[in-house]
Structure 1
């Protein structure tokens, strides 16, 4: 479609283009033939509202496939699957004439209390970035734009419209921005959505460093920046910072502010032209791709994909043997008792703006009964209602115990009620409700062959982990989760999911415990780099289940791994994996790196690559892990840039962060790094500087009179140089002549600094 040039638009029309026309539509300019574009919520399904819109899912929306939310899809570690889900989302959006689907969310799971964790993939940026890029590619392959969100450091719901995420440069870059960077550079989403919060005191919606310097100048983002709905603080400051489109409509208020700012000379019209031009570019992409997918929707095919995705999302946490045999998979002719309200009334998605009106909804109870060849008993066991009489709780529990006692295996569905997990507020704890824990204890007392199936959008404490022989982490599984759960329970599908977040023993053990959710609208990220498994590993803390953990109904053995540098400078890691069990299965192979003796603070190991392999019984295949050199870099605050530190890196390949199966080492050349020298540079730093070092050694030789500090009155064994290394260069003159030589003057230091910096003095 040919759209008009900016020169054809009036100032008022250009300003109007940068604000929404309504809750879900951009502004049209009918005079010159610019149509509106519809944006609507995802990220795990299409939420196109009928009639007037709202942001929190209160109004009705058209039926759409509800795929597993990111908390489930993330555990699949399956890039191909997420691409397929993205394609399906794009198809449904295209059929409904939606131009942009608002998702995926790639924010880091800093704390398990975040009420919106169900919309995010992982506590690790590599996992979040890889999976986020896959789903963006899938959506956009169907001519529908994705909207990468929520940019950035948006890790809680408490005070989300004002709170400042106060985070240092290294963790901001290495943890909280790295996933966004991966998606932008690899998949070029059509839009990026800025978040509500402030970052180090500046609103994301009006931060030129974030929206322009980092996103565009460094990462090469080519699309449009849209606000989260209602995230604009000051519109003129926002558009100057790089916020192109404000959503939803302000009723013309901010349009007038922009026009006035341009007229008064406060805002250059060229800045407005840039934003309006990006809106027109988005309209062009959407209109050119209109009709890529046409209806009617193949509801059955998309439901089948949702079931496959849900089965790939279920993590087998534990599967011990009872009476000589693993509890799972279940025999279809076994006498089963299904217990728990969630089996019949599934908790399949989180609350808030991502709530999907599903095309259909499976229940685990129905699916289990359909798959079983014998009668399946059921008991609610507990109620999820807010106020339940004690008598009713006792009655429900008593009935469940009787049902469990008569069964060969009891399958108990536990989880977090919907009211406790939602966009807009955070959780108070990570505990399952007391009535559910009491039920489980009572069931275990009469039937040791008990399986727990969990339904939760964020991790929960598992005080029963030692007592229960088999546990499935079912997360939130979308509309087909009931059928997928039955597939896993009976072994029709071999579980292959693995945790993308650590399950801690206690909330008090979690990295952000003392600084979540902050106070007085400030949240100090005092744990720094040590988010998730990095924290637990660095502190050698026990956990319930580690990052990357997930069992199978078969077993996998690993051979020795080998690492080599590729011509592009990346690292290629190869390892053979064998299915040593009796069932076909899929293994997620994880690659971690470490640098022992590093000059900077690092976690004991960090995930840098992953891949999966599907193997028949007895089959062996080679798995290749591609570690990007850029992912080995740390953010150096001294030069405000990425630096790869040279050295002998440890490369570890494993089935989880705490199940390392093979190790090797590889020498990696570091980046050339010359840090500017100043008077605040320490003596030790200056001695290691390639230019300043030799000059300083000469100066110190004169200062020592050709001798050394051995005549010092310091006690024997005290390292005098270690004491001196901490002195800033600007204060060396205070020490005088240590060995009877010539003192080093201020002028000497300034000449040394000028020489080290190539004649560009740094004071």
Structure 2
């Protein structure tokens, strides 16, 4: 059958389909799937979060997945080829999880350092974001799995995200916030795009004209536009817009109400047909993709390499790093992130890792038995319960035993549980089950008064050796999916325990009867020393070691989807801990385990500062690789880090009277920092290496429809390393309000010690154009200055320096 006859058959079937059936097709069939229709040849399409892995559609923590670094960690590599490799590996993960479309990448910009979801996004810069996202999408889709860039558009904060109206000038939209989406749509042709929760210039994104133009019209996007989950807020407004699919489903606003709107003439049936045709295009791509073979592969080595490639060396005084493998005989590993490291951020981006390599394990694996590695808490990220650590809970070789119970309490099924926190959708619960019991033997490492309990929305009771210690009923809150996943309360009670003596802990949990998803997990909190005593113990450990490695970071209560940050300070007494350890041991390396900027008042006192972001499941091995010099810290900052929050160009994410105005215009990130004082702590693009580089020549030449820069680069150090070329531009004679300088192009090259190479960096014409509301994109007839710089802070000097070149905007 030819494509023409197939289309004719489909059009005939569509014309005869009852209206109720048509409307049902444009709403999801559950949390993670669309509705199939054999009459149209439309398959059921399975989608899944998230950008750092593929959680799968079953919502069942028993099914593990790879866990790659956070978006900021990946972007810190500045490496398109790495992002494409990550994409291909995610395609293999998706096939393993029976997923057709991965909901990612997240390509909103870092407008303010307070945005709670910055860790999931790539960068403050639209060019860096767009190019890396295009590589990621290309990698996924090259193997027949779809990608869904999100969240279209201007979704740069979490505060009131479903209600806020973000106000942006047309030029700001085009040059900054639409730019990464245009890049990925034109260059990688994604199968889906997700419309955001927020509104822009007066209309929610699921009802916004921007979805039609420029996305589907000017840019030629031929895929399907899906709403963010529960982001359809009206019947006619959203149906008349270019949103094609409401998720999850069935969406009531696109059910009987939409059928009635069509019948009474408020919405033309042709609008529904147009949406279905988009879903048919998606369905055909999915069907073809399922026939494409993907060879399974071990994600571990790539996750390890990616974590190291994004690790940023912020400071390195007297060359303390890398530590020589034959050097220190003892290392004190100190701090809350050493014992409870965060491999990923919170919210929909999270996955269930197949495994996690803790920092101490990574160091011990690399150093062997001859080096003493000790761990000390030092400070606490937050009050309340924490998840049990590996080894604290065990039951017949697994962390917990799960017993699924019917309404009468009879056992329906027994399972070994791989995690102490359960996340289950309806398909992850045995038929007839009304409750679950988690049982385990918990062995405390300290004697004293512990808090034992759980975290979850539902009816729960925790017992210790059969005695109830904590109970609560919050089933009336189960309809708030965001609270279920992010904001569930702690429920706990005190229990006196003896170090090394195991106790039987059981959690019986009953979910709401009409649940779509529940999450519940055991929680513990050990007896704590005073903060002064904790720091004193850390200081003693540091004094007794040749090298101290202090690991600090953010908690899930500070950095997550669902809310914005209120401060950039590290939670708890971590700053005091770092200062005390530095005073005790001059060879102190500070490792920052955070997804976005934090204040670091001690940064100039530490021997070295490493930023590992949320580095994924191979965290410990990658950290050991970098600390010991097995690999380079390959990262450069994808966003500017302020010394203190008050210095940042944008210091609020809170709307006023329902509106959030992007008053800074195109001057976001380093562009905004360039026109103010004081300077940041670390500029966009900053990153040190274990080797050194020199650029001896810089020239421009025409390249296709644009221009490219050619840099002659030499590795002047004693070991191999990665050079990240950053080319900045300025237009001092421009009659348009332009930034003082901006990133015009970037590239990377690996060089052996003493090796030289010519590196060509494409400079897209769009890097020099500006948006005029009447005429569109304009290449201004002015003289552009261009120069390579080691980071944005060096750009102004480089543009006035001897290597600077000029371009008059002429296209060959």
Q: TM-score range by the shorter chain?
A: 0.7 to 0.9
Measured in 2, the distance between the counterparts of 1:562 and 1:664 equals 8
Q: 1:141 to 1:392 in 2, by over 3 A?
A: same
Change (3 A) 1:259 1:192: same
Residues 81-118 of structure 1 show CA distances to partners (whole Å, capped at 9, x for unaligned) of 11011001111112222111100011000011111111
CA offsets, 1:435-491, max 9 Å, x none? 111111111111111100000111101111111120001110011111101100000
Cα shift readout 1:356-388 (whole Å, capped 9, x = no counterpart): 100111011111112124212221212234159
Please state whether the residue corresponding to 2:133 is helix, strand or coil: helix
Contact kept, 8 Å, 2:331 with 2:374, in 1: the verdict is: yes
Q: Which residue of 2 aligns with 1:379?
A: 376
2:388 matched residue in structure 1: none
Q: Cα gap change, 1:175/1:236 in structure 2, threshold over 3 Å: closer, same or farther?
A: same
Q: Quote the residue 1:268 is aligned against.
A: 268
Matched residues in 2 for 1:261 and 1:182: separation?
Answer: 36
Q: Deviations over 1:225-282 (max 9, x none)?
A: 0100011112332232210111111355513233223222222222221110111111
Superposed counterparts of 1:28-107, under 5 Å: 28-30=36-38, 33-50=41-58, 60=61, 62-107=63-108
Deviation at residue 69 of structure 1 after TM alignment: 1.3
Distance (whole Å) between structure 1 residues aligned to residue 62 and residue 129 of structure 2: 28
1:457 has 2:595 as partner: yes
Q: Is 1:25 equivalent to 2:33 in the alignment?
A: yes
Match in the other structure for 1:303: 300
Match of 2:118 in 1: 117
* Cα distance in 2 between the residues matched to 1:23 and 1:640: 43
Deviates more, 1:362-371 or 1:263-272: 263-272
Preserved contact between residue 351 and residue 418 of structure 1 (Cα < 8 Å): yes
Contact persistence 2:84–2:139 (CA under 8 A): yes
Does residue 785 of structure 2 align to residue 650 of structure 1? Answer: yes
Say if 2:698 and 2:805, in contact at 8 Å, map to a contact too.
Answer: no
Matches within 5 A, 1:544-623: 544-566=681-703, 568-623=704-759
With over 3 angstroms needed to count, the CA separation of the structure-2 counterparts of 1:294 and 1:666, relative to structure 1, is: closer
Tell me by how many angstroms 1:434 deviates.
4.0
Task: Provide the rounded CA distance (Å) in 1 between the counterparts of 2:184 and 2:55.
Answer: 23
Task: Please report how far the alpha carbon of residue 592 of structure 1 lies from its aligned counterpart in structure 2 after TM superposition.
Answer: 1.0
CA drift at 1:338: 1.0
1:142 matched residue in structure 2? 143
Q: Which residue of 1 aligns with 2:566?
A: 428
Mapped to 1, the partners of 2:78 and 2:562 lie a distance apart of: 28
The answer as to 2:625 corresponding to 1:487 is yes
Instruction: Give the strand-richer structure, 1 or 2.
Output: 2
1:633 aligns with 2:769: yes
Quote the offset at 1:670 in angstroms.
7.1
Kept in 1, the 8 Å contact 2:113–2:597? The answer is yes
Alignment match, 2:154: 153
Cα distance between partner residues in 1 of 2:117 and 2:45:
27
What is the rounded CA distance, in whole Å, between the counterparts of 1:597 and 1:7 in structure 2?
60
Partner of 1:507: 645
**Bigger helix share:** 1
Secondary structure of the 1:577 match is strand
Match of 1:163 in 2: 164
Whether the 8 Å contact between 2:333 and 2:360 is mirrored in structure 1 is yes
Alignment partners' CA distance in 1, 2:380 and 2:766:
51
1:193-245 Cα deviation digits (max 9, x unpaired): 0000000111110012x111110111111111010001111233223221011
**CA distance in structure 2 between the aligned counterparts of 1:266 and 1:415, rounded to whole angstroms:** 53
Contact preservation (8 Å) 2:127, 2:179: yes
CA contact (8 A) 2:575 2:600 kept: no
Displacement of 1:395: 2.5
Structure-1 separation of matches of 2:207 and 2:109? 22
Conserved? CA contact 1:647–1:670, under 8 Å: no
- Is the partner of 1:550 in helix, strand or coil? coil
- Give the RMSD, CA atoms, in angstroms: 1.9
Alpha-carbon distance, 1:554 to partner: 0.3
SS at match of 1:608: strand
Whole-Å separation in 1 of the counterparts to 2:248 and 2:724: 41
Mapped to 1, the partners of 2:236 and 2:293 lie a distance apart of 38
- In structure 2, runs of 5+ residues without a counterpart are 385-524
Quick one: which of 3, 16, 20 aligns to 1:12?
20
Mapped contact 1:94–1:143 kept (Cα < 8 A): no
Q: CA deviation at 1:647?
A: 1.5
Q: CA 1:577–1:28 in structure 2 vs 1: closer, same or farther (change >3 Å)?
A: same
> Is the CA contact 2:159–2:653 (under 8 Å) kept in the aligned structure 1?
no
Alignment match, 2:335 = 340
State the partner residue of 1:217: 217
Partner of 1:746: none
Q: Counterpart in 2 of 1:416?
A: 554
Q: Deviations over 1:600-646 (max 9, x none)?
A: 11111110110001001110000111111122111113x15111111
Q: Provide the rounded CA distance (Å) in 1 between the counterparts of 2:327 and 2:702.
A: 54
1:533 to 652, 670, 677: 670
State the alpha-carbon separation in 2 of the partners of residues 61 and 131 from structure 1: 31
Mind listing any 5+ residue stretches in structure 1 that lack a counterpart? 54-58, 672-763
SS of the residue 1:471 aligns to? strand
Contact 1:362-1:482 within 8 A present in 2 as well: yes
Alignment of 1:233-248 (within 5 A): 233-248=233-248
The separation in 2 between residues aligned to 1:280 and 1:629, in whole angstroms, is 35
Q: Is the 8 A contact 2:115 2:653 kept in 1?
A: no
Tell me, yes or no, if structure 1 residue 320 matches structure 2 residue 317.
yes
Contact 1:409 1:450 in 2 (8 A): yes
Deviation at 1:33, TM superposition (A): 4.7
Counterparts of 1:36 and 1:252, CA distance in 2: 20
CA deviation string 1:59-96 (max 9, x = no partner): 63621100111010010001001101100111111222
What SS does the aligned partner of 2:557 have? Answer: helix
Note the C-alpha offset of 1:531. 0.7
Larger Rg: 1
Provide the TM-score with structure 1 as the length reference: 0.83
Distance change in 2, residues 1:257/1:392 (3 Å): same
2:198 corresponding residue in structure 1: 197
* 2:321–2:690 CA contact under 8 A, matched in 1: no
Checking the alignment, whether the CA contact within 8 Å between 2:321 and 2:629 is kept in structure 1 is no
The number of aligned residues is 654
Whether contact under 8 Å (2:382, 2:572) holds in the other structure is: no
C-alpha displacement at 1:31, in angstroms? 5.1
- SS state at 2:260 partner: helix
- Report SS of the residue matched to 1:592: strand
Provide the rounded CA distance (Å) in 1 between the counterparts of 2:747 and 2:807: 23
CA 621–294 in structure 1, closer or farther in 2 if over 3 Å, else same:
closer
Distance in 2 of aligned mates of 1:270 and 1:263: 12
Secondary structure of 2:217 counterpart: helix
Q: Name the residue aligned to 1:720.
A: none
- Residue 291 of structure 1 deviates from its aligned partner by 4.7
